[in-house]
Structure 1
Amino acid sequence: MADPDFASPRMERVLDTAADLLVRWGYQRVTIDEVARHAGIGKGTVYLHFHNKEALFLTVLLRAQRQIVAAMADRMEAVPDEVLLSRLLRGLYLVLSNDAIARVLYMGDAEVLGRLAHEAADTLGALVGRRREVLTEHLRLLSAAGCLRSDLSPEALLYTFSAIGTGFFFVGGMPGGTPDLDVETRADLLEHAIATAIQVPDPAPAALAKVAPVIAALYRSLITDIDHEVRRRIR
């Protein structure tokens, strides 16, 4: 699903450069001048696209989120098993382990984001709320399809899913936190933990095939919200 706001090679170059500098230097240190210089364009060209530094870097984070959500929806449409929460979280864990910008976005790395963390929380609060709505509906649809444990309330399912995922992401991001386990092994363990805690054994393939397009569409609707936020920041 292409987005015309990111179609221009010059726009991609600016965003790629800003993302690289954000991870390497942190938000406080990076300037529009440095982004322009490393991208090989004039500072005025950056301002042709973005109102200010905050708008540029919020767009960097939004683009990362859009790519993650779009890939998630693509997998769900291609392989119905991917709507299972164990598979969803496994995929997200692998992305965050291998993509520095995605990791900064989802972990809210204050050292890298600096003041932008506060701005992102304030400005993108509605989008965070929408993500939670989508996840809550995702759980409801899986429950209705008989894929989740019926002895746990919706609140308990969401809490358990979030608590296990947060634990794996947090420990995996700590220096020396998992010295003897590679990323794939950790992702496998996370998938197993979620499946054991909240899913039924061997969810019915027919049920997954039926519900997968509906759940994928939910995430597609979230992409629309992300695009709206992007367009608010691009001239």
Structure 2
Amino acid sequence: MLDAAADLLVRWGYQRVTVEDVARHAGIGKGTVYLHFRTKDALFLTVLLRSHHHVVARMADRMAADPAEVLPSRMTASVYRDLADDAVVRPLYLGDPEVLGRLAHEAAETLGELGGKRDVASRRLFGLLRDAGALRTDLPIEEQEYVLRAVATGFLFVDSLSTPEVPVDRDRRAELIAHSIAAAIEEPGAAAQAGAVAPQAVAMFRELAADMDAEWRRRVRR
């Protein structure tokens, strides 16, 4: 059901999709959808929550496999690849009105608390990296976070324009993101300090992923 809703959300946009469309696409009756979700909004907000959870869970897994993934440059480049491949969560990060319609506002409110937890985890990670000597200290943490968001969002926005200047290869675009962020806020040789920070970072983001998982599952009526 959620997979069907996600597929139609991307293909048609929230405004055009009906609960009947989702039921037909999933091969079930409309009543079955309403058995689990009270409204269309509840269904699609759950779709977005589940996709957001997948992004954070993969982030934690990468950190566990390779400590250098805790660095803002590597972490952002990897998330960029996720968003390039995930047509559901990408419009959520961009606030794309064509796909999300009025759901964009609902999603922002619904994800507010979880987004706050994500921001706390990010701020704590930046602090740990600065203490370890992996990040520069010539800017406050909040300004370094702003730089990171501005670079990542800027790349996603330019991608959405489909201009001839955009490099075709997704991985090359990810490398450019990593290069830009590393040059802006990281110390040379930052990867050598990442190992000391990785265990705490993995624990933080796995806790956040667990909270997101619990939230989207809570919204499905059994």
TM-score > 0.5 by shorter chain: yes
| Alignment partner, residue 54 of structure 2 | 67
Aligned counterparts, 1:193-208, within 5 A = 193-203=180-190, 205=192, 207-208=193-194
Distance in 1, matches of 2:142 and 2:191, equals 23
Structure 1 residues 63-121: Cα deviation after superposition (integer angstroms, max 9, x where no partner): 11111100100010111011011000101111111211121121111111111111112
Paired amino acid for 2:216: V
Distance in 2, matches of 1:96 and 1:177, equals 20
Deviation at residue 230 of structure 1 after TM alignment: 1.4
| Alignment partner, residue 5 of structure 1 | none
Deviation at residue 177 of structure 1 after TM alignment: 5.9
TM-aligned CA distance change 1:177 to 1:121, over 3 Å: farther
Aligned counterparts, 1:1-235, within 5 A = 14-176=1-163, 178-203=165-190, 205=192, 207-235=193-221
Distance in 1, matches of 2:75 and 2:134, equals 14
Task: Give the TM-score taking structure 1 as reference length.
Answer: 0.89
Deviation at residue 34 of structure 1 after TM alignment: 0.8
Paired amino acid for 1:136: R
Paired amino acid for 1:113: L
Distance in 2, matches of 1:66 and 1:177, equals 33
Distance in 1, matches of 2:191 and 2:4, equals 45
Distance in 1, matches of 2:51 and 2:131, equals 31
Deviation at residue 28 of structure 1 after TM alignment: 1.1
Distance in 2, matches of 1:231 and 1:44, equals 19
Are the aligned partners of 1:51 and 1:233 in contact in 2 as well (CA < 8 Å)? no
Paired amino acid for 1:218: M
Show structure 2 runs of 5+ residues with no match. Answer: none
Distance in 2, matches of 1:51 and 1:45, equals 11
User: What is the number of equivalent residue pairs in this alignment?
Assistant: 221
Secondary structure of 1:201's counterpart equals coil
Are the aligned partners of 1:77 and 1:213 in contact in 2 as well (CA < 8 Å)? yes
Q: What's the RMSD between the two structures over aligned residues?
A: 1.5
Show structure 1 runs of 5+ residues with no match. Answer: 1-13
Are the aligned partners of 1:89 and 1:190 in contact in 2 as well (CA < 8 Å)? yes
Paired amino acid for 1:90: A
Deviation at residue 231 of structure 1 after TM alignment: 3.6
Paired amino acid for 1:85: P
Structure 1 residues 22-46: Cα deviation after superposition (integer angstroms, max 9, x where no partner): 0111111111111111111111111
Paired amino acid for 1:221: E
Poorly superposed stretches of 4+, deviation over 3 Å:
177-181
Distance in 1, matches of 2:3 and 2:169, equals 27
